[in-house]
Chain A
C-alpha cells in the first residue's frame, strides 16, 4: 500500500472532470482517499463537497476518515432525544448533524468511517457492506461477521460493529458506515443516553444496540490495519491500484468552497435549528424552603427555538409582571442553556432588588435551564 501525498496525485484533475485518461490506472475508475484531519465538521464537509462537486460517472470514490470524540446525529433527529447534551458540553465532545439519514453514533479515534461515493444510479448499500465483510474475513477468517437486512454489521451474531446511513442527491449518492475498532464503549454508552424527559417528537429515533469493538475480539486488530484491509478490497473490486490519497479538508485551493461548508456544519442553526418540531411536557420538582413545588412546564420548540412556553406556577409566587416578562423573553429564544442563562441573568437586573425574589427566580430558572 502506498500513501501518496497531494502533490503527486492527480486529484486536481478529478475536479476539472477531464476524462480519466490521465489516471494511472486505465481500468474501471475508482479512487481511495483518506482525510488527514480528525475534525468531524471538516470531514463531513468533505463528504458534502464531493457529493456536490465531483463527477462520479467515471469513477467511484471511497473516503476513509476518523474523528476525535464527537456525537453525530442523523439529518432529521433530535439531539435532546438522542444524547446527553450536558455531558457532551462538560466533556467537550462535539455535536454534529450530518446530511444523511439514520441514527446517532459516537465517534472517536477508535472508530473508522467509510464513505462510498457513486452516481445515484449505482447506489448499492448491500454491496458496499459485503465488501467490508469480505475485507474483514480476508484479514481474519475466524471472525464471525455478517450483514443484516437493516444494513448493520454484526459480530458473533449479536454485537453491532457497524451502522449505516446514506444520502441521495440528484445525480450522486453516498453511503457511509462506521466500524468499531477500539472505541471507548464507556463514554459511548454514557453520552448516547438522554436524560431529558417529556420530549415528544416525530424525529427519527435511534435504535439502541449492544456494541463491541473488533479489538476485543482480536487484540491484534488496529484501526490502521482495518483501514488498509478495506482499501485493499475496494482496490481489488474496482480494479485499481492500492493507493490511498491523503487529503487535507482545510485546503481551500484543492476543495474550493470547503471552508464555507465546514462553517455551515458548525452553526447553531444547522446543528440544533434543524431539529424537527417537538414539545417538552414535564414537571419540575422544586424544593423551596420547607416545601416541594410541582411546576408543570409545557414548551413547543420549532427550529430549535421556543415557540410556545407555559409554566404553571402557584399564583403570585413570582410577581405577575416578572412572570410575563420571563415568558415573553423565552418565546422566540433558542432552546439553549447558555442563551437562557444570559437571558435570565440580564432580566434579573431590572427586577426589584429583593433577596427572596432573587432566590425564587434563580430556583425556577436553574430548573428550566436543566431541561435544555
Chain B
C-alpha cells in the first residue's frame, strides 16, 4: 500500500483510486519527509462534549476512579476512556467517537454527573459527528449486503469512517477480517484487504469470523495460494514490524543487585575448575532417599555438597573469611553459613543454611527444604537472606557444565556446580565404565586467597564426594 501524505492538515480527503490515502497515526510512522503536520496547537476539527450516559437504575452520579486516557491522547470509537463507580457497580465508559482527547472534566475521586460532559473530544471535521447512540447496528446498505450479514449471524463492528472507506472502495465489510477489539474492522484491515485485491478473491470463510480477539495484532495478509484463478502479481509489501522498545526503571531488588554486582566486580577474581566423579554418591543418595522420605524430607545432592564444603572450610578457613573495606583486616568467620543460590520469580536470591559446621547432612536437608518452600512462596525472612559466609550455586539443575561465578560480597569465594552427566571414564584397571560426572567452577578473591589454597580445598571437597565414606571419618 502506498501512502501519500495530504498537503494540508485541515482536511482529510478520501481519494478514490487504487491508492488509499488515510490520515492516521500509521501514516505518520511511515513518513520519511520533513514536513510534518502541525500538531495540537492548531485545532483542526470540531470539539464535541462527550456526556456521561445513563448508567441505569436511576443513578445520577458516579465517582471517577481511573482514567485510561489523558489530554492529547488519540482515541478510537469503543476505546475505554475511564472507570467510574457507583454503589458497588464499576462501569467502563467507552468512547463514542474517533478523535483526540482535549479535556478531562473530572479528576480521580471526583463526582461525575450523568448527562453532564465527561470529556471533550476533538473529532475530524470531515468525519462529522457520530450519532448519539453507540454505532453497533449496520448502516443502511443494499438489501443483499444486509442479508449476507444476517446469514453470518453476527454484527460487523466498524466506525463510520471505516464504513465509508469500505463503501468508497466497493468492499463488503463482511468479507474483511476484523482484528480490532470485538472483531471490529479497523482501517488497517481495509487497507490489508485492498492490498490483497491484486489477484484471487479471498473467499469468505466462516472460520475467519470465529477467530477471537486475543490481542490487537498487525494483520499480516496471507498470500493467496489459489493459483487456478488469475495469476497474482506479487506485490512485495515490506513486513511491518510493530514491536516497540519498552523502557522501565530499575527499581527495588534489581537496583540493590546492581549495587552489589558493581561492588563484586571490584574484587579480583580468579577461577579454578575441576570434575568430580559422583558415581558413588549417586548410589549412596539412592539408598538414603527413602530413609529421608520417611522422615518427611526431600534429599537432593545439595546437602552433601554443602556439608562437604563445610568440612573443607574447617581445613581452609580463609575461604570462609571476609576482607574489610580498606583491605586492612581479614575476619575469619566462625560460623559456616553456606548460601544456596535460588532461582525465583524475582530473580536470583541467596538464602543461607546457618552453622553447617554443627549440622548433620540430614539437618542441612531439612533446612534446605524449609528455605526452598519459603523461597518459592516469596516468604523468606531477612535472617534467612543475610549472614552468609560462603556460597554454592547449583546452576546445573538448569544446565551447563563450567561457569564463571561472581563472588557475593562480603564473601571471598563461591562455587558453581554444573549438571551431572553420564560419561565414559577409565577405572584403575584401565577399563571403561559409566561415570556420573559433575563439573565445579570456583571463584575466589585473589587479594587474600591464592591458587594453591583453592586447589587444595577443591581436592579435599572432591575427595569427600567421590568417596562419601571418607566423610564419616571427619564428621563432627
Q: Are A76 and B65 in contact (CB under 8 A)?
A: yes
Taking CB atoms, residues of chain B closer than 8 Å to A8 are: none
Taking CB atoms, residues of chain B closer than 8 Å to A208 are: none
Interface string of A328-345 (1 = CB under 8 A from B): 111011100011111111
Q: Are A256 and B214 in contact (CB under 8 A)?
A: yes
B55 within 8 A of A: yes
B108 within 8 A of A: yes
The size of the chain A interface, using a CB distance under 8 A, is 70
B94 within 8 A of A: yes
Taking CB atoms, residues of chain A closer than 8 Å to B109 are: 202, 276
Taking CB atoms, residues of chain B closer than 8 Å to A260 are: 214-215
Interface string of B346-360 (1 = CB under 8 A from A): 100100000000000
**Minimum CB–CB distance for A131 against chain B, Å:** 16
Interface string of B317-329 (1 = CB under 8 A from A): 0000010110000
How many angstroms between the C-alpha atoms of A347 and B253 in the bound complex? 9
A141 within 8 A of B: no
Given A101-B85, A102-B88, A369-B260 contact (CB < 8 Å): no
Q: Are A53 and B386 in contact (CB under 8 A)?
A: no
How many angstroms between the C-alpha atoms of A17 and B152 in the bound complex? 9
Given A76-B90, A103-B88, A168-B92, A342-B253 contact (CB < 8 Å): yes
A3 within 8 A of B: no
**Minimum CB–CB distance for A20 against chain B, Å:** 10
B366 within 8 A of A: no
Within 8 A of A (CB), among B69-94: 78, 83, 85-92, 94
Residue of B nearest to A202 (CB): B109
Within 8 A of B (CB), among A30-75: 52-53, 55, 74-75
Q: Are B94 and A170 in contact (CB under 8 A)?
A: yes
Interface string of B205-224 (1 = CB under 8 A from A): 00001101111000000000
Q: Which of B40-48, B281-289, B373-381 contacts A (4 or more CB under 8 A)?
A: B373-381
A165 within 8 A of B: yes
A365 within 8 A of B: yes
Interface string of B377-418 (1 = CB under 8 A from A): 111111101100000000000000000000011100000000
Q: Are A339 and B134 in contact (CB under 8 A)?
A: no
How many angstroms between the C-alpha atoms of A6 and B409 in the bound complex? 58
Q: Are A344 and B378 in contact (CB under 8 A)?
A: no
How many angstroms between the C-alpha atoms of A271 and B155 in the bound complex? 34
Partner of A369, one of B55, B108, B210, B382: B382
A184 within 8 A of B: no
**Minimum CB–CB distance for A134 against chain B, Å:** 20
Main secondary structure of the interface of A (DSSP, over half): mixed
How many angstroms between the C-alpha atoms of A76 and B322 in the bound complex? 50
Q: Are B214 and A332 in contact (CB under 8 A)?
A: no
How many angstroms between the C-alpha atoms of A256 and B56 in the bound complex? 31
Q: Are B260 and A166 in contact (CB under 8 A)?
A: no
A100 within 8 A of B: yes
Q: Are B90 and A89 in contact (CB under 8 A)?
A: no
How many angstroms between the C-alpha atoms of A247 and B346 in the bound complex? 34
Most buried by A among B65, B155, B408: B65
Q: Are A276 and B108 in contact (CB under 8 A)?
A: yes
A233 within 8 A of B: no
Q: Are A338 and B379 in contact (CB under 8 A)?
A: yes
Q: Which of A189-197, A215-223, A284-292, A350-358 contacts B (4 or more CB under 8 A)?
A: A350-358
Q: Are B252 and A339 in contact (CB under 8 A)?
A: yes
**Minimum CB–CB distance for A257 against chain B, Å:** 5
Taking CB atoms, residues of chain B closer than 8 Å to A74 are: 88, 90
B291 within 8 A of A: no
How many angstroms between the C-alpha atoms of A260 and B90 in the bound complex? 22
Interface string of B188-220 (1 = CB under 8 A from A): 000000000000000000000110111100000
Q: Are B346 and A338 in contact (CB under 8 A)?
A: yes
Taking CB atoms, residues of chain B closer than 8 Å to A101 are: 85-90
Partner of B251, one of A92, A333, A353: A333
A123 within 8 A of B: yes
**Minimum CB–CB distance for B93 against chain A, Å:** 8
Taking CB atoms, residues of chain A closer than 8 Å to B213 are: 53, 257
Interface string of A105-128 (1 = CB under 8 A from B): 000000000000000110111100
Q: Are A346 and B260 in contact (CB under 8 A)?
A: yes
Q: Are A125 and B90 in contact (CB under 8 A)?
A: no
Q: Are B210 and A348 in contact (CB under 8 A)?
A: no
Q: Are B253 and A362 in contact (CB under 8 A)?
A: no
B57 within 8 A of A: yes
B66 within 8 A of A: yes
Q: Are A171 and B136 in contact (CB under 8 A)?
A: yes
A366 within 8 A of B: yes
**Minimum CB–CB distance for B249 against chain A, Å:** 6
Taking CB atoms, residues of chain B closer than 8 Å to A175 are: 89
A232 within 8 A of B: no
Given A362-B383, A369-B382, A164-B88 contact (CB < 8 Å): yes
B469 within 8 A of A: no
Q: Are B214 and A169 in contact (CB under 8 A)?
A: no
How many angstroms between the C-alpha atoms of A270 and B65 in the bound complex? 15
Residue of B nearest to A166 (CB): B89
Taking CB atoms, residues of chain B closer than 8 Å to A346 are: 253, 256-257, 259-260, 385
**Minimum-distance CB pairs A-B, first 4:** A333-B252, A345-B385, A101-B90, A102-B88
12 residue pairs A–B, Cβ–Cβ below 8 Å: A89-B379, A164-B88, A169-B94, A170-B134, A257-B212, A260-B214, A329-B252, A333-B255, A338-B346, A341-B382, A343-B255, A346-B259
Q: A166-B90, A341-B381 are in contact. List 4 more A-B contacts (CB 8 A).
A: A342-B385, A345-B385, A349-B260, A362-B383
Q: Give A contacts to B, CB under 8 Å.
A: 15-19, 52-53, 55, 74-76, 89, 92, 99-103, 120-121, 123-126, 151, 164-171, 173, 175, 202, 204, 256-257, 260, 276-277, 305, 325, 328-330, 332-334, 338-350, 352-353, 358, 362, 365-366, 369
